Amino acid sequence: MYGFEAISHHNGWAISVVGILIVFTGLVTLSLLIRVFPKIIARIEDNGKPNAQSSSPQKTIPQSKKQEPSIDSSIKEAVRQYQYLISWMGEPFSLPRLIELAEKRGLVRPHATVSQMIHASVIQPDGKGYFLWHAK
Amino acid sequence: MDDILKLFADFWSNTGFALADYRYIIMIAVGLIFIYLGIAKHYEPLLLVPIGFGILMGNIPVFKGLGLAIYEDNSVLHYLYFGVTSGVYPPLIFLGIGAMTDFSTMLARPTLMLLGAAAQMGVFLTFLGALALGFAPNDAASIGIIGGADGPTAIFLSAKLAPDLIGPIAIAAYSYMALVPVIQPPIMRLLTTREERLIQMEEAREVSKLEKIIFPIVGFLLCCFLAPAALPLLGMLFFGNLLKECVVAERLAQTSRTALIDTVTILLGITVGASTQGDVFLTASSVGIFILGAVSFGIATASGLIFAKIINVFSKVKINPLLGAAGVSAVPDSARVVQMVGQEEDPSNFLLMHAMAPNVSGVIGSAIAAGVLWSFMN
């Protein structure tokens, strides 16, 4: 059996329509849930604030913040952007090439930012003239 | 003297030279091409080199009954092949993929997930095409999933639905995955205008650590409640991603994305390659599967591109339609191809990170599609 007759005989039309609808339903629902994630998280964090204030001032929240990665908050966003560039380039990478890509991408003050990241040990030399990425 | 000559004659009759026929020679040539493409052209070398060498191993003509060939019950290759036929290897590969995938770009721009869903139309349209060409429903479903451009998913589904076709389906799926940089660009240029290819994407928002930890749990529960048959694949994918994002299990994540996935890839590649034994593999249906696989892959790419253009009709914020091509789940090759084609028009257009969103959602979408097809065929 061939052609449309075979498709109809094996219920192919219905399977395909229902199948693609299920795939779309799954991913659309997931995307809607992802969209509300930040709001839910913000609400949870807002609800948590009064409790944190009402408890003793020596609560461990500031300490746990100190234990976060040692990347300076001023370059956190830059680290994220540069991480994409480096994932594209692969490691070890050449610094001039990284700066060139950052300039093409329109990132602000790439030389200064790269210098800051070297000081923060986010970018470290591999000893062979190239560099490695050390941000987590 | 006669005894010596007889021994030589017996020995000669058992050598590969005496047992070979043209089918083995053709397959050995195919294996050599795979190895060449992997090593010289760098097309998916981690897959094509093991598969190519596996093809060579599977096509050494051997004396039947000695327990050497992959299809003989007591052969070592047969035991290793069990991981393919039983569907054990693909979920382990998904575990590694989950442990190395960063879902942040998808979490930052969830709308792009729809492109991953749209690309799955290729799976279902090819399913219809295979039915129309006279394939049985189980075989047609396994052939259709090639359009998902996801080797492990294709192997998993064909192991469950069409074990006899694992070899050709796996080889077709991995071949087309390796040839993403060759197959996709002409379709992308054909279906988009230069103005569309020049569209620059807005900077994505920053995704918090908590979001990244919650996502694999919510994603797993939602997808597997919706399509329980996708549990072995999506369960391992999301589990691997949770290991990565929760940080406290970094050692397990590290093993999953390095030693474990590498080991399984070697075993999978070698045994899938070896399963292409000339006398079993070179059939009319294998040729049909290769043709349908190419069609499926093309349709999947086109579906993603066209859907992106449709989104642009209704959306105020335009997206670059090239991103639709990354909806097929060949991670990260199709995202790289999007970047490459985008930069041909405008070297300052950086699409890679945006293309990763439909790319990883394509992985989820093709696993759901496989689960759906498996449940329907049962």
Q: What is the residue type of B300?
A: A
pLDDT value at residue A131:
85
CB contact under 8 A, A19 and B137: no
More confident residue, A8 or A126: A8
Whether B91 and B156 have beta carbons less than 8 Å apart is answered as yes
Residues 10-49 in A contacting B (C-alpha not used; CB under 8 Å): 10, 12-13, 15-16, 18-20, 22-35, 37-38, 41
- DSSP, res B332: T
pLDDT digits (tens, 9 = 90+) for A67-77: 444 556 667 77
A133 confidence band (pLDDT: 50, 70, 90): confident
pLDDT digits (tens, 9 = 90+) for A19-64: 999 999 999 999 999 998 888 888 887 776 655 444 444 444 444 4
Could you state, in order of their start, the residue ranges of all structural domains in chain A? 3-52, 73-133
Angle at B3 between CA B2 and CA B8, to 5 degrees: 95
Tokens representing B237 are: 């994918």
Give the closest of A23, A84, A105 to B117, CB-based: A23
CB contact under 8 A, B114 and A24: yes
Could you state, in order of their start, the residue ranges of all structural domains in chain B? 85-377
Tokens representing B75 are: 């052969």
Q: Which residues of B touch A12 (CB under 8 A)?
A: 127-128, 131, 137, 140
Count how many pairs of residues, chain A against chain B, have C-beta atoms within 8 Å: 119
Q: What is the residue type of B158?
A: S
Tokens representing A62 are: 């500031």
The predicted model scores a pTM of 0.78
Q: Which residues of A touch B120 (CB under 8 A)?
A: 20, 23
Q: How confident is chain B (378 residues) per 10-residue block, as mean pLDDT?
A: 87 85 92 94 89 94 82 90 92 95 91 92 92 93 87 91 89 85 92 92 85 93 92 95 92 95 95 89 87 88 94 90 90 89 88 91 93 91
**Test the B interface: residue of A4, A16, A27, A82 with most B CBs within 10 Å:** A27
Q: Which residues of A touch B226 (CB under 8 A)?
A: 22, 25-26, 29
CB contact under 8 A, B131 and A6: yes
pLDDT digits (tens, 9 = 90+) for A109-130: 788 888 888 878 888 888 777 8
pLDDT value at residue A66:
42
Tell me how close the Cα of B365 comes to any Cα of chain A, in angstroms.
6
pLDDT digits (tens, 9 = 90+) for B183-211: 999 999 999 999 999 998 888 888 888 99
A90: left (phi over 0), alpha (psi -120 to 50) or beta: left
CB atoms within 10 A of CB B61: 21
Task: Identify the three-state secondary structure at position A125.
Answer: strand
Tell me how close the Cα of B192 comes to any Cα of chain A, in angstroms.
23
| Closest chain A residue to the Cα of B124, Cα to Cα | A16
CB contact under 8 A, B226 and A41: no
Give the closest of B226, B350, B376 to A26, CB-based: B226
Tell me how close the Cα of A75 comes to any Cα of chain B, in angstroms.
13
- DSSP, res B219: H
| Closest chain B residue to the Cα of A100, Cα to Cα | B348
Whether B324 and B306 have beta carbons less than 8 Å apart is answered as yes
A61 touching B, CB under 8 A?
A: no
CA distance A119 to B316: 42
Query: What pairs with residue B68 in β-bridges?
Result: none
Contacts by B186-189 with C-beta closer than 8 Å and gap 24+? B187/B298, B187/B301, B187/B302, B187/B305, B187/B325, B188/B301, B188/B305, B188/B322, B188/B325, B188/B337, B188/B338, B188/B341, B189/B341
Tell me how close the Cα of A28 comes to any Cα of chain B, in angstroms.
7
pLDDT value at residue A64:
44
More confident residue, B157 or A79: B157
A17 confidence band (pLDDT: 50, 70, 90): very high
User: Which residues are CB-contacts of B119 (< 8 A; sequence separation ≥ 6)?
Assistant: B147, B148, B300, B301, B303, B304, B307, B324, B327, B328, B329, B358, B362, B365
Handedness of CA B329, B332, B333, B337 (dihedral sign): positive
Give the closest of B110, B127, B211 to A31, CB-based: B110
Give the closest of B113, B206, B215 to A77, CB-based: B206
Task: Identify the three-state secondary structure at position A93.
Answer: strand
| Closest chain B residue to the Cα of A34, Cα to Cα | B107
Give the closest of B127, B219, B364 to A12, CB-based: B127
pLDDT digits (tens, 9 = 90+) for B102-130: 999 899 999 999 999 999 998 999 999 99
Q: Which residues of A touch B117 (CB under 8 A)?
A: 23-24, 26-28
pLDDT value at residue A51:
55
CB contact under 8 A, B128 and A16: yes
**CA dist list (Å): B52 to B31, B38, B278, B367:** 4, 9, 14, 26
CB contact under 8 A, B113 and A3: no
Tell me how close the Cα of A25 comes to any Cα of chain B, in angstroms.
9
Q: What is the residue type of A62?
A: P
Q: Which runs of consecutive H residues, i.e. helices, occur in chain A?
A: 3-9, 12-54, 61-66, 76-89, 95-105, 110-119
CA distance B216 to B208: 14
Residues 68-87 in A contacting B (C-alpha not used; CB under 8 Å): 77, 80, 84
**Test the B interface: residue of A11, A16, A81, A88 with most B CBs within 10 Å:** A16
CB contact under 8 A, A2 and B364: no
